[in-house]
Structure 1
Amino acid sequence: MTTKRKGKLNFTATFSIACVLLIIALMISILYGDAKIHLTTIFEAIFDYNPKNQQHNIISEIRIPRDIGAILVGVALGTSGAVIQGVTKNGLADPSLIGLNSGAAFMLALTFAFYPTAPFLVMMFAGFIGALIGGFIVLMIGRSRSDGFNPMRIILAGAAVSALLTALSQGVALLFRLNQSLTFWSAGGVSGTTWNQLMWAAPFILVSLVIIVSMSKQLTILNLGETLAKGLGQNVAFTRGITLILSMILAGIAVAMVGQIAFVGLMVPHIVRYLVGTDYARVIPLTAVVGGLLLLVADTIARMLGEAPVGAIISFIGVPYFLYLVKRGGRFS
């Protein structure tokens, strides 16, 4: 009862603080770079754009798309992780740990091999199909008739399937000489994000997010147990199916945009549940904001370190956190 009350009292303030921090981080990220740019120049580039002004071009064509891309990918990965953890009741679940990212990367490798000039929409679709294949295999292996989704079985199946799909991706890369093209996708990074990518990715991510938020009550009940959810008249199969497909869409789009970035979907939902409780009406919106904030800050740090891989920056925090969760038995925060 105390936790629930605390979540109700603190959600608005916590969500508002997270949004303010996200805006501050966005402004700092746009300001930071090799070219020194003043804050007033940012507003000029947005509201009074001059194509002949080099600083305006840097802001509008490089920094803003990159930063918005980082936020959207953080939103997608964080939300996807929260949904998967809720549906499977597995606190160790993450898009990268249950085969979604590696499946998306494998399909993207095939796309590069057979359709090198594929537009971003095709890459998004390939990423979703790959995430669907990888996730389906892992979840079917990890599910048993007696106890539903077994957390340890899912993690072991995810490790095995991810290793297989990664090996297949590397095989395709060697066969078609795509090693250089796929290096970016293996390391993960948002430096190449364009307005064209955002134009296609943003609607899918935002619509998926809205649908998931609208189903937050069903997710909360499902997280309490399948038997209880059925007893309350919930269509468990429908809720699980729709939310998992949406989480796979989010993961597939994220990989198509920036490559494989792990642990965002693992860490962020735990942090959010610790702050506002387990009601998914609060968890999903705050996870989206905190996920965007985490990836934006990680990308800014990566730039400060000379364009280090964002995936490596996240993993530096994510691996110890994962080991900590394993020690706790993967229990929810």
Structure 2
Amino acid sequence: MRLKSALPATILVISPAAALLLIVLSVLFGAKSISASEIWDAIVRFDENNIDHQIILTSRLPRVLGALLIGAFLAVSGALMQGITRNYLASPSIMGVSDGSVFMVTLCMIFLPDMNSIGLITMSMIGSAVGAGLVFGIAWLLPNGMSPVRLAILGTIIGTFLGGISQAAATYYQISQGIGFWYNARLHQMDPALIKLSLPFAAVGLVLALALSNSVSALSLGDEVASNLGVRVRLIKGLTMLAVVILTGVAVALAGKIAFIGLIIPHIARMLSRTVDYRWLVPVSGVLGGLFLALCDLLARFVNYPFETPIGIVTALFGVPFFLYLIKKRGGGQHA
């Protein structure tokens, strides 16, 4: 038992140092090289007339902090979804949750173009709920609809459908250029003010996720087992999906749709921590998700230097092979 808790605890302890290293590297390297001394000067003696200082505090630092937060939100969401559905393919990007957010953001830009940032975050979360509701609602009506592969296929169909409607509406109302941010995530356009506004929403989602983690561990054993252990299955599933909706909605509002983080990171967290206890898996997934996305963002700057590669391509380079590996190894059954 000590071994099982020692491994995830070690990951959590060393993660701040890894995050700090990624922050420094992300600020140092890019199309324009910046010295380490310039970073220190920008923090302690900010000069608004210094271009390097402006780049550091208004672009690169918000970018890496946003990547750390978004990666954490998506990874925690994926871990929660995999736990309550016992579906190893569950994730916000595959189950239509992210697509629902983008769909709602598109409608807001068309019909409510003057909506403030808080309204945008709220509508993005509502869109997450719509996407999840459509996928799981239809899956519940279909024979064996909750099996991993069928649910993944259904999520892909619903996500593609919502995405198609969004793009058609954006083209018709001539806002394709403006909405492109949410279809092709661009971390370099991170808004520092929006990050600050999103933190209270994200805090609620993370606290809810951690509070529910013990019950999610029981649900991962099956509804009947969880019920016998005293878990109120429907209530816990509803609250867990609320946490997923909040975290995914905030992530999409900040940087648009980013795929595969919520799929692969919870599995990596299980392999590294060697535990199935969600009291450990939720925080470990969060820190690994943040580090992974920040690392992918750093790699995106050098794949085709001096041009930046879209972050979605970099995450797909890891995510697609992992997705195929899961299908081949696990087949169509639910995990235990």
Return the TM-score normalized by structure 2: 0.93
Q: Deviations over 1:72-96 (max 9, x none)?
A: 1101111111111111110001101
- Displacement of 1:103 in angstroms is 0.8
> Which aligned pairs between 1:71-220 and structure 2 lie closer than 5 A?
71-143=68-140, 149-220=146-217
- Displacement of 1:300 in angstroms is 1.3
- Displacement of 1:134 in angstroms is 0.8
2:271 maps to what in 1?
Answer: 274
Percent identity (aligned): 33
- Displacement of 1:332 in angstroms is 5.5
1:261 aligns with 2:258: yes
**Quick one: distance in 2 between partners of 1:29 and 1:18?**
16
**Quick one: distance in 2 between partners of 1:245 and 1:283?**
18
1:300 maps to what in 2?
Answer: 298
What letter corresponds to residue 322 of structure 2 in structure 1?
Answer: Y
1:38 maps to what in 2?
Answer: 35
**Quick one: distance in 1 between partners of 2:55 and 2:138?**
48
1:48 maps to what in 2?
Answer: 45
Give the counterpart of 1:13 among 1, 10, 15: 10
2:319 maps to what in 1?
Answer: 318
Q: Which runs of 5+ in 2 are unaligned?
A: none
Q: Aligned to 1:143, what secondary structure does the other structure show?
A: helix
Q: CA RMSD in A?
A: 1.9
Judge conservation of contact 1:187–1:312 (CA < 8 Å) in 2.
Answer: no
1:227 maps to what in 2?
Answer: 224
- Displacement of 1:326 in angstroms is 0.8
Q: Which runs of 5+ in 1 are unaligned?
A: none
**Quick one: distance in 1 between partners of 2:310 and 2:48?**
30
- Displacement of 1:113 in angstroms is 0.9
- Displacement of 1:147 in angstroms is 7.5
**Quick one: distance in 1 between partners of 2:271 and 2:126?**
33
Q: Could you tell which deviates more after superposition, 172-181 or 41-50?
A: 41-50
Return the TM-score normalized by structure 1: 0.93
**Quick one: distance in 2 between partners of 1:255 and 1:289?**
18
Judge conservation of contact 2:93–2:257 (CA < 8 Å) in 1.
Answer: yes
Q: Aligned to 2:326, what secondary structure does the other structure show?
A: helix
